[in-house]
Amino acid sequence: MAELASIVLAAGQGKRMKSALPKPLHRLCGKPMLSHVLAALRPLGPQPQVVIIGVGAEQVRSTFDEPDVVWAVQEQQLGTGHAAASAREALADFTGDVLVTCADIPLVRSETWERVLGEHRKQGAAATIVTALFRDPTGYGRVIRDESGQVRRIVEEADCDEITRGLNEGNVSVYCFSAPALFEALTKLRPDNEQGEYYLTDVVEVLVEARQKVIPVLADPDEVMGINDRAQLAHAERLLRGRINRRAMLEYGVTLIDPEATYIDPEVTLGCDTVIYPGAVLAGATTVGENCTIGAHVLIEDCEIGNGTNVRHGSVVRESVVGEGVTIGPFAHIRDHSSIGNDTRVGGGEVVRSKLGERVNDLHFSYLGDTTVGDGANIGAGAITCNYDGRRKNPTVIGDGAFIGSDACLIAPVTIGRGAYVAAGSVVTKDVPPEALALGRARQENKEDWARRFKK
């Protein structure tokens, strides 16, 4: 039997969010709050990781694909103590230690969990309660200590009198318990309080009265903040972003022109000497290489970007792979599993489900959809692949070194052979052999003196 398990409470309604979305699914730096909590617990190896769900249970459960999580349902939301007791079945026969927290406390780091567990075991405690000194403790249960500094109990804000309300040490809902002591104490809870709920916090008083050892561990109030409303969500987002951006600068060696205005998701990795301009959003599972420049107001999501690539102002690149030494934008849109070869240049056009080879020049307002472009090809200004016939998407193939004149329309499915030329303004409906010239436009006619006669 494993020595360590965890319980995350995520069954409540989250009323104060004023949202149809269950609170654990609200996102923080691109990831649901609950996934931050689980990610911080994971390195400690708790087994099982129990998550208590209730309101929006199916929606929460189906958002996650975490094989080591055991979902337990709290049918009725009768309070945090009742929620914790809903883990009883999942932890039947478990006699080790259990880390307990809530889905709305997403900034706690693994290092802090290690410290809490370490202290708990060193002191042989039945319960370890993490507390923090808040400048404004509004919303937190207040920690009541006796003259010797021992924790006696926790009073919820709704149950505070004038004196306890004035205390600024808050319970942050980050705990470690000996599992048997927790489940025994939970049977003693009574909902005789202002909110008529079974409070997990009352376990502290139950254990103290049973002369079991309860110890406090002090933490940084920012790290253990709880999120009950959208203002707190925005504040947490800012704190987490600060942490991610410091890591980008100090560990990855990345220059952020304005860290206050740079938005990087937690799983993004960045290469050394890359420079990121304000307003850039790097989202999802994105990797950016070394010596890249990411321009202002660029969005890159779920992409791999090679070394020395420059993504200019206002470009959007999603679910695509970009090689080395590439230039993209300004105002390019590259998406849906496209790939761009080394040293290729894409200007302000759109590239969709397409594969561009190396050294391609596609600099001015083109549209390439379902297209394969060979190495060294040139795509003229405003050239378009007409990939959609109203029913299906059809492929276009442009061979190595081909030259597509400005404003050409390539009606797919069509193949332009290696080294072929397509004259500007042509509408191409038939395949073009290698090294051929395709002309598909009306021949120009000049009428001498026409204008002079017209004006008379």
Structure tokens at 377: 């090809």
Which residue, chain included where needed, has tokens 């009306």? 442
Distance CA 26, CA 32 (A): 5
Binding stretches for Ca ion (CB under 5 A): 104, 226, 228
Among Ca ion, ligand UD1, none, residue 415 binds (CB under 5-8 Å by kind): none
- Tell me how far, at minimum, the Cβ of 68 lies from ligand UD1, in Å: 20
Member of 128, 171, 212, 338 binding ligand UD1 (CB under 6 A):
171
Could you tell which of ligand UD1, Ca ion, none binds residue 82, using a CB distance below 5 to 8 A set by kind?
ligand UD1
| Binding pattern for the stretch 76-105 against ligand UD1, x by CB under 6 A and - elsewhere | -xxxx-xx------------------xxxx
- Pairing assessment for the beta strands 263-264 and 281-283 based on DSSP bridges: parallel
Q: How far apart are the C-alpha atoms of 177 and 117, rounded to whole Å?
A: 9
**Residue 323: both structure tokens together:** 């090689």
d(CA 262, CA 255): 11
Minimum CB separation of residue 116 from Ca ion in Å reads 18
Residue 185 CB, nearest approach to ligand UD1 (Å) = 14
Which candidate in 235, 297, 313, 364 is catalytic? 364
* The entry of ligand UD1, Ca ion, none that residue 9 binds, CB within 5 to 8 Å by partner kind: ligand UD1
**370: DSSP letter:** S
Measured from the CB atom, the residue of 167 and 249 that comes closer to ligand UD1 is 167
How many of the chain's residues bind ligand UD1 (CB under 6 A)?
30
Q: How far apart are CA 455 and CA 255, in angstroms?
A: 63
C-alpha distances in Å from residue 203, one per residue of 66, 184, 187: 30, 9, 9
74 binds ligand UD1 (CB under 6 A): yes
Task: Give least dist CB 371 to ligand UD1, A.
Answer: 49
How many Cβ atoms from other residues are within 10 Å of residue 284's Cβ? 15
Q: Reading across the β-sheet that carries 355-356, which strands appear in turn?
A: 269-270, 287-288, 304-305, 321-322, 339-340, 355-356, 371-373, 396-398, 414-416
Q: Report the nearest approach of Ca ion to the CB of residue 64 (Å).
A: 20
Instruction: Verify whether residue 364 is a known catalytic residue.
Output: yes
Residues at the contact surface with ligand UD1, assessed by CB under 6 A:
9-12, 52, 54, 74, 77-80, 82-83, 102-105, 140-141, 154, 156, 170-173, 199-201, 226, 228
The residues assigned a catalytic role are 364
